[in-house]
Structures are given as structure tokens and as C-alpha cells.
Amino acid sequence: MILGVNIDHVATLRQARLGIEPDPVMGATLAILGGADGITLHLREDRRHVNDRDLDMLRAFVPVELNMEMAATDEMVRIACRKLPDLVTLVPEKRQELTTEGGLDVRKNMKSVKKAVRTLHDKGIPVSLFINPEAADIEASKESGADMVEIHTGCYANEKGRKREKELVRVAGAVDKAVELGLLANAGHGLNYTNVAEIAMLNGVRGLYIGHSIIARAVLVGLERAVREMKELILRGGS
Ligand code: PXP
């Protein structure tokens, strides 16, 4: 099972000061050194975190799977066809959302999804669709010509106890259905250090795509060292 690390959150921190650090490209390098099998970035229409320069640089050096998350718009498809990521994941996109809120309604957007899949396939780019764990969405994904799906684990991640168990069964059922239809099955959203194990145990899952919890943990586990290094500089420089 592969781990794709989403580095949007590094870019979000950079954009808080509209500066140059932390650089998501450096973030990707460290993630790869840590064992990431893939790097995911979401190029949004409004470029609110990851920008075109990040995509250029990541495309140039990322030696593992570069997964470009994007809306199925003509602009994004054009960019993907130029940059040739190793995988495109089509997601729904709303301007005001804090993160991708729900899965793609493939049936409702069948025309634009099919068109995007066809154009990306012409360039040799495999396509994944980020969908809710619903049989109808998996069937529609198959019909669209996509190669894989990423099952939205947000509801599973947000629930507790019996409700979480029910959501886990839904995710497992969705993975089984996807595999049965000949689609590769990934999962992601809201996965963290306490809820990932049960998803990682599911049969048939190709990969997990995780962002927020990894970057959140990096901030905390790296803080002590960062302060110590600053203190050393101050003590060395001061009288
Ligand atoms: N997969 C998709 C399609 C996403 O949009 C996101 C969020 O950017 C993730 C996975 C990762 O979610 P999280 O940041 O909650 O781990």
C-alpha cells in the first residue's frame, strides 16, 4: 500500500505571510526522505496555497508519484496536459471551502468528467476520481473511463464508536465494489495517527492520501528542535 503525502498545507503556511517559507518543494523532499511514495498537490482555481511555480518545480524533481488534484475544468486539464503529472485526481472544488468537502458527484458531472478523462488519457495520464463511498458513484466512475477512485474517508474520520464502525463498513464496501468493477481503489481525507490503522487493514486498497495530520504532527514534533536551533544562534551572537 502506498502513502501519498499532500503538501498543500506547507504552501498554506507560506501563504500566511505571502513569503517564500516554508517551501512546499522542500517539504516534498523531506516527505520523500521519510518514505512518501507519492506527493499530492491541489492546484486550485484561485491558487490560494499551491501555485504554478510549485507545480513546475515539483514536476521537475519529484521522483515518486506526483498526484495533481484538480477540478475538471478546461484550464486545469490544459495545465495537467502540459505538466504531465503521474496521476490526476479529479475533485469537486468550491471557492469558500476550507478543504475538499465531499466527493465528486460523477453522475451529475458525467459530461465534463468524461471529457477530462479522455483528454488526460490522450496524454497518457491516469485519472482517479475522489468520490463518496457510494455504489452509484463507483459505477459512474467506471462509466466515466477513470482508472481509479479515491474513497472519501472524511465521514469515517469524523465519527466515533458504532457510527465509525458503520462508516468503516461503507468504505470497505466501496473498496470491494471498485475492485470488482476493475478500478484501483485508494482512500483519503481526515486520516490521522489514531484512525489510519483500520483503513490500512482493508483488503484491496492501493494507496492512502494524507495531508493535514502529517503536517500538523511535523509542526509539533519539529518545534523543540526549531526553538533550540534559534536559541543557539542567539546565544552565539549575543554577549
Ligand atoms: N484526498 C483528497 C482528494 C483531498 O482533497 C485531501 C485534502 O486536500 C486529502 C486526500 C487529504 O486530506 P487530509 O488533509 O485531511 O489528510
Among protein residues, the one with the nearest Cα to ligand 1's atom 5 is 100
Helix/strand/coil percent split, the chain, to 5: 50, 15, 35
The whole-number pLDDT of residue 101 equals: 73
Q: Is 49 a catalytic residue?
A: no
**CA-to-CA dists, residue 205 to 168, 172, 199, 226, angstroms:** 13, 9, 8, 36
**CA-to-CA dists, residue 143 to 135, 139, 178, 192, angstroms:** 12, 6, 12, 32
Q: Is 189 a catalytic residue?
A: yes
The whole-number pLDDT of residue 239 equals: 58
Q: How far is the CA of 28 from the centre of ligand 1 (A)?
A: 16
| Minimum-distance ligand 1 atom for the alpha carbon of 189 | 12
Q: How far is the CA of 82 from the centre of ligand 1 (A)?
A: 24
150-169 pLDDT, tens digit per residue, is 999 999 999 999 999 999 99
Q: What is the pLDDT along the chain (239 residues), one digit of tens a residue?
A: 999 999 999 999 999 999 999 999 999 999 999 999 999 999 999 998 999 999 999 999 999 999 999 999 999 999 999 999 999 999 997 766 666 778 999 999 999 999 999 999 999 999 999 999 999 999 999 999 999 999 999 999 999 999 999 999 999 999 999 999 999 999 999 999 999 999 999 999 999 999 999 999 999 999 999 999 999 999 998 65
Q: How far apart are the C-alpha atoms of 187 and 213, rounded to whole Å?
A: 15
For the record, the C-alpha cell of 126 comes out as: 491516469
CB within 6 Å of ligand 1 — which residues?
6, 8, 42, 69, 89, 91, 99-100, 130, 150, 188-191, 209-213
Domain count, the chain: 1
Among protein residues, the one with the nearest Cα to ligand 1's atom 12 is 189
The domain of 67 spans 2-238
59-103 pLDDT, tens digit per residue, is 999 999 999 999 999 999 999 999 999 999 999 977 666 667 789
Q: Which of 69, 155, 192 to mutate to test the pocket of ligand 1 (most atoms within 8 A of CB)?
A: 69
Q: What CATH number does the domain containing 131 carry? A: 3.20.20.70
Q: Helices marked H in 6-64 — which ranges?
A: 8-15, 24-33, 52-61
